[in-house]
Amino acid sequence: MQKVLSSEFGIDDISVGWERPQDSAHGDITTPVALQISKKVGKSPKEIAEKIVSALAKEKTIEKAEIAGPGYANIWLTPAALVAALGSTRQACMAKVKSGAPVIVEYSQPNIAKPLGAHHLLTTLFGQSIANIYEHLGYEVIKWNYMGDWGTQFGKLSIAVSKWGDGRIASQYTVDELLDLYVKFHNEVENDDTLEDQARAVFKKLEDGDPELRAFWQDIITVTKSALSSIYEQLHVSFDTDKSESFYEDKMEPILEKGIASGVFKEGEGGSLIVEFPEESNMPPYLVRKGDGATLYSTRDIAQMHYRLEELKPQEILIVTDIAQKLHFEQLAATCEQLGWDITGFDNVLVGRMRYADKSMSTRKGNVLRLEEVLTEAVRRAEEKIKEHGDHIQADDPAELAKMMGIGAVSYGIVSQNRKQDIVFDWDKMLSFEGNSAPYLQYTHARARSVITKAGEVSDPKQVESLTEKERGLLNTLLKFEHVLKEARTNNMPHILANFLFELCQSFNSFYNDTPILKAEEPTRTLRVYMTLLTADVLKTGAQLLTISVPDRM
C-alpha cells in the first residue's frame, strides 16, 4: 500500500488505517485511506480509491479489490496470503518476553476483618484480567492488593472482641464472627456514646506501638488473609505484593511536612489539614489530616503514590476501583500535581456497580451478599446443568467440571460486560449453553479439542486453491486476535477480548456444523485441522487471560 501511495500520489508519510469488516461480504480487509488523503491530494476519495484498487489488484497476495461506499477500498486476499497470516495469530497465543518499566495494576483491595462480598468480584476480576493481558503482551506487571488494614476500625474491633467476644484469642475467630462483632459495636454505640472515643484511643495506642494491640492486629490480618487466599485461588487471582495501607504508616509524616512548607497543605477547620483546588475544578477541599492529628485514607494514598513513583518508577499505575471512588482519586491526582509529582502514567480504572437480575439477591437481610456463598451456589447450579444435559456432556471428573463451569460462568459473566456500565449479575445468562457465556466457550473449546484428538498429528497447512465462505470467515476471525488483545489493553477493557472469543465460538461452530474436517480431502483436511487447533488455542489463551479455565473434554 505504501508503495502505491508513494508512486501514484507522492505520499510517503501517512499511517494507513486498516480494518477488518464486520461483514465478510466486504472483503478480508478494508481501508479508508482514500478518504484520509483526499484533501492532501486534492482529488475525490472515489477517484483515489479507484486508482488504489487497480494498483492493488496487480499484487500477488491480493485476489480482488473493490471500491465501496464513499471511498473505501475493500480487499480480498489470496488463500495463500490469508493462511500465511495465521502465523501471527499463533504467535499471539504465546506470552511475549517481558521488558520495560513496570506497570502497576492495583485491584481487589478489600478491607481487613470483613468477608469478601459479591461486589468485590468486580474490581478483583477486571483488575486480574487487565493485569493478565498486560503481562501476556510483554509488560512487566506488578499485581498489587492494597488492602484496608489500618484505621480506627481496629480500635473498634479490639473493644468489641474484649467486650462481647467469648474469650478466644483473635486468631481463633472466623472473618464472619469478626464482622458480627464489628456490627455489634456499631449497634452498641447507640447505648453508649463513649464507645467511639474509646475506639479512637485504642487505635492511637496501636499506632504508638502497644505490643498487645500490635499482636491482636497481626492476628486479625492473618485470619483475613487466609480466608481471602482460598477465594482468590478459586478465582485464579494472584498478586505480587500486598503492601497495604499500614505499610505507609511511617511514610506520611515527611510528605505532610514538605507539603505544609510548600503551602500545598493548608490549615482547615479545627486544626485540620486540607488541600484546596481551583474553583473551575469543582472539587471540594481534600482532607488529609484531622484536627486531632490522625491521618486518613487520603493521606495513605498520597504516601502510596509517592512510594510507587519514587521506588518503582512505573510507566503506568492503574488503580481499579468502584465508581464511588472517582472523586477521591481526582482529588488525589490533583494533590500529587500540586506537590509537583509527575503522575501522567496514573489512571483510575473505574468499574460500575453490581446489579442483580434476581432481586432477592440484593434485598436479602444483613449487609453483604457473601462471595463465598455466591461461588458455592454457582458450582451447585453448574452441577444441575451438567445433570440436565447429561447425554451431551462427557466429563472425566464431573465435580471438577462443575467447579470449572460454575466459577467460570460467574467470572466470565462479569468480565464480558463493559466495565464502565453497571454490571448485571444474572444466573441464567451466565450459565447458558447458547449465549455469550463461559459454558458456551468451554463447550466450543472442548469440541475443537476433540477434533484434534481424533485427527492425530497436526501439521502446518499446505497451499489451497480456494476457500469456502465458512473457511474464510473463520480465518478472518482468527486473524483479529492479535489486534483485539492490543485494543483490550489500550482501553483497559477486558470485555473487548470476551466479545471476540464469543465471535470466534460462533464462527467456529458455524464452520464446524457444515464443513467436514476429518473427512475432507488433502490439502484441505490439513488446513481445516490446523484452523481447528488454532481456534482451540486462541480460545484457551483468551479465556485464561480472563481468569477462566476451559476443559479439554466436555
Which cell goes with 551?
Answer: 476443559
Q: Does 111 bind ligand ARG (CB under 6 A)?
A: yes
Judge residue 292's burial from the number of C-beta atoms within 10 Å of its C-beta, 0-12 exposed, 13-18 middle, 19 or more buried.
Answer: exposed
If one counts every other C-beta atom within 10 angstroms of the C-beta of residue 286, the result is 24
Which H or E element spans position 388?
A: helix 371-388
Q: Does 152 bind ligand ARG (CB under 6 A)?
A: no
Name residues whose C-beta falls within 8 Å of residue 143's C-beta, 6 or more positions apart in sequence.
105, 107, 127, 128, 131, 238, 239, 240, 241
Q: Does 21 bind ligand ARG (CB under 6 A)?
A: no
Q: Does 425 bind ligand ARG (CB under 6 A)?
A: no
Supply the minimum distance, in Å, between the C-beta of residue 298 and ligand ARG.
9
Supply the minimum distance, in Å, between the C-beta of residue 328 and ligand ARG.
7
- Kindly tell me which of 105 and 441 has the beta carbon lying closer to ligand ARG: 105
Supply the minimum distance, in Å, between the C-beta of residue 287 and ligand ARG.
15
Query: Which residue type does 546 have?
Result: L
Supply the minimum distance, in Å, between the C-beta of residue 310 and ligand ARG.
16
Query: Which residue type does 217 have?
Result: W
**Which range touches ligand ARG (CB under 6 A), out of 103-111, 174-182, 266-274, 334-342?**
103-111
Q: Does 286 bind ligand ARG (CB under 6 A)?
A: no
| In 235-349, alpha helices (H) | 252-261, 297-307, 326-338
Q: Does 301 bind ligand ARG (CB under 6 A)?
A: yes
Q: Does 109 bind ligand ARG (CB under 6 A)?
A: yes
- Kindly tell me which of 106 and 207 has the beta carbon lying closer to ligand ARG: 106
Binding-residue pattern over the window 49 to 88 for ligand ARG, x denoting contact by CB under 6 A? ----------------------------------------
Nearest to 98 by CA among 129, 143, 131, 136: 136
CA 491 to chain centre: 10
Supply the minimum distance, in Å, between the C-beta of residue 270 and ligand ARG.
25
Nearest to 82 by CA among 51, 61, 103: 61
**Which one of residues 146, 173, 239, 508 is an interface residue with ligand ARG (CB under 6 A)?**
146
Nearest to 33 by CA among 21, 6, 15, 20: 15
Q: Does 321 bind ligand ARG (CB under 6 A)?
A: yes
- Kindly tell me which of 319 and 478 has the beta carbon lying closer to ligand ARG: 319
Q: Does 319 bind ligand ARG (CB under 6 A)?
A: yes
- Helices (H) then strands (E): counts for the chain: 21, 12
Considering CB under 6 A, how many residues would be counted as binding ligand ARG?
9
Which residues of this protein are in contact with ligand ARG, per CB under 6 A?
Answer: 106, 109, 111, 146, 148, 301, 304, 319, 321
